[in-house]
Amino acid sequence: MGNPLYDRLFGIHAGKETPFLHLPDGHTLTHAAFLDMAARVANALTGYELEPGDRVAVQVEKSPEALALYTACAQTGLIFLPLNTAYTSAELSYFIENSGAALVVCDAAKETGLRPIAEAQNARLETLNADGSGSLMRRALGMLPAFEPVRRRPDDLAAFLYTSGTTGRSKGAMLTQDNLLSNAETLVQEWRFTQDDVLLHALPIFHTHGLFVATNVVLASGGSMIFLPKFDLDDILRLMPDATAMMGVPTFYTRLLGDDRFTGDLARHMRLFISGSAPLLAETHERFEARTGHRILERYGMTETNMNTSNPYDGERRAGTVGFPLPDVELKVTDPETGETLHQGEIGMVEVRGPNVFEGYWQMPEKTAAELREDGFFITGDLGRVDEDGYVHIVGRGKDLIISGGFNIYPKEIELVLDDQPGVLESAVIGVPHPDFGETVLGILVPAPGKTLETDVILANVQNELARFKHPRKLILLNELPRNTMGKVQKNVLRDTYKDLFMTV
């Protein structure tokens, strides 16, 4: 039986002296050296009297050692729980308590605040810093660089990822070995990754995108990564000539386009640019292609499912869409009220089923039953449609749907019109309380650099293109939209900010 996740992602590289991690200081870590490091960490973990299935909560900066800890958890059968480095001690208290973590690993700078939280849960606490120092690695350095992986089944849990928690408490999505492995191997094939690829990796590794997509794809293909601690424009421009592919969020691409040093010549040797975690504006697609000749490949995934769809590697990468369902992934659009499958082109709830779909929410059977159907289809919470050519369009989150005077209004439709107005960099449309209509439409605009927007003119243009019930009642100008660490617009923040705008006493 072995250990499928370790054997097929990590163990296949045992003894390979080919590069795996190219570090900012110029050093390179081979696959073999990395696996030696991971084995030492695995031996250290076993000394903490942890059992397969125990949870390891990890809030550390990005580093080779942090990646080795993920690998060691796979080897030892421990459940890896990466946590956003921006979370406060109060927020971490919930994740540690809810997950029942047996081990907490944090940066030494946060040890004082986290120790009482860990002790309250009878969890051991160790430290790991960005430079590789800390109590965990001090212990690991004294261990042997070999470890026999613990036997696991494909349906054994490998990781927890907590949802962002914009409505209510965050939910711990339980991901199995097969969830992670099947998705990685599918993406290698769909995106044509090989051992010759060098991925420019500037994403965080506490999130699906940077860890279970970017890192696992490189491992599954035997390639290597330029492993940057974060997105730094100067570093990206300097190192791009050494890369063949890049995965990023839309902000990465807009920042590249905002710098004259980013030219077609600089990107000419690149094989592939991939974007996800937030919608990519059609304008960004067009500007990027005009500048470089490359068409960005946009895809769609979630915490609970990893990747569900992708624009094609060969064929038209259509702006405004997230492509087609991946092999072995079934996708349908349903009526949110009845669950009945809708006709092609109709907007409804996106549901997906496949080996990538999670097992459920940790210790939340009611939430699991509400969102994961008995037949295996997961109700994503995203509204979408499938066009006549089979491309999937995501039009917004279900909770973002605006119901005004009995009419259903999809923010994405209005945002596309607003984004197309002269001088508009981007927009966000939300529903806010209204005394007569229940909700009404509010548009938030961000001007392009150096541009001045005339909201009256824009409103008049919108009124010519959209039915009256979809017209924004007001437009507000902001310098930038609030975003989370993965670049997603935080509409919940906007709704809270403007919730009283049209309400009267």
pLDDT tens-digit profile of 218-234? 999 999 999 999 999 99
3-state secondary structure of 133: coil
- According to DSSP, the residues that pair with 161 across neighbouring strands are 173
If you average pLDDT over residues 6-35, what whole number do you get?
95
What is the Cα–Cα distance from 409 to 349, expressed in whole angstroms? 14
* pLDDT over 60 (residue 406): yes
Mean pLDDT value of segment 279-284: 84
Q: For 213, list phi and psi in degrees, rounded to 5.
A: -100, -70
Count other Cβ atoms within 10 Å, centred on residue 327: 10
421 CB-side CA count, 13 A = 28
- Cα–Cα distance measured from residue 505 to residue 501, given in angstroms and rounded to the nearest whole number: 11
Average pLDDT over residues 27-33: 97
Average pLDDT (191-198) is 98
Residue 82 forms beta bridges with which residues? 58
What does the pLDDT look like over 481-503, one tens digit per residue? 999 877 788 998 999 999 889 87
pLDDT over 80 (residue 99): yes
Per-residue pLDDT, 86:
84
Which of 172, 171, 175, 182 is CA-nearest to residue 156? 175
Strands 157-162 and 172-176: antiparallel
CA angle 284, 286, 287 (to 5 degrees): 65
Digit-coded pLDDT (tens) for 420-432: 999 999 999 999 9
Per-residue confidence (pLDDT) for residue 504, from 0 to 100:
60
As a whole number of angstroms, the distance between CA 355 and CA 255 comes to 35
Q: Which residue has the tokens 């949870």?
A: 55
pLDDT band at 505 (very low <50, low <70, confident <90, very high): very low
SS3 call for 95:
helix
pLDDT confidence tier of residue 401, bands split at 50, 70 and 90: confident
Residue 252: the pLDDT is 92
9-18, 438-447, 481-490 — which is least confidently predicted? 481-490
Q: What is the DSSP string of 427-492?
A: EEEEEEEETTTEEEEEEEEEEPTT----HHHHHHHHHHHS-GGGS-SEEEE-SS--B-TTS-B-HH
- Checking if the pLDDT of 167 tops 60, the result is no
Of residues 486 and 371, more confidence is placed in 371
| Token pair of 45 as six digits | 């973990």
3-state DSSP call for residue 424?
strand
What residues does 187 pair with on adjacent strands? none
Tokens of 167: 């409505």
The answer, yes or no, to whether residue 407 has pLDDT greater than 80, is no
Is the pLDDT at 445 greater than 50, yes or no? Answer: yes
Cα–Cα dist 420/282, whole Å: 9
CA distance 14 to 149: 13
Average pLDDT over the chain, rounded to an integer: 93
Nearest Cα residue to 180 out of 195, 158, 162: 158
Residue 31 above 70 pLDDT? yes
Whether 168 has a pLDDT exceeding 70, the answer reads: no
User: For strand 330-334 and strand 348-353, is the pairing parallel, antiparallel, or unpaired?
Assistant: antiparallel
pLDDT tens digit sequence for 233-243: 999 999 999 99
pLDDT tops 60 at residue 166: no
Q: What is the pLDDT of residue 91?
A: 83
Q: In sequence order, what are the beta bridge partners of 349?
A: 334, 383
Tell me the C-alpha distance between 191 and 301, whole Å: 15
Residue-wise pLDDT for 307-359, tens only, equals: 999 999 999 999 989 999 999 999 999 999 899 999 999 999 999 999 999 99
- Report pLDDT for 119: 95
HSE-CB of 52 using CA atoms within 13 angstroms: 14
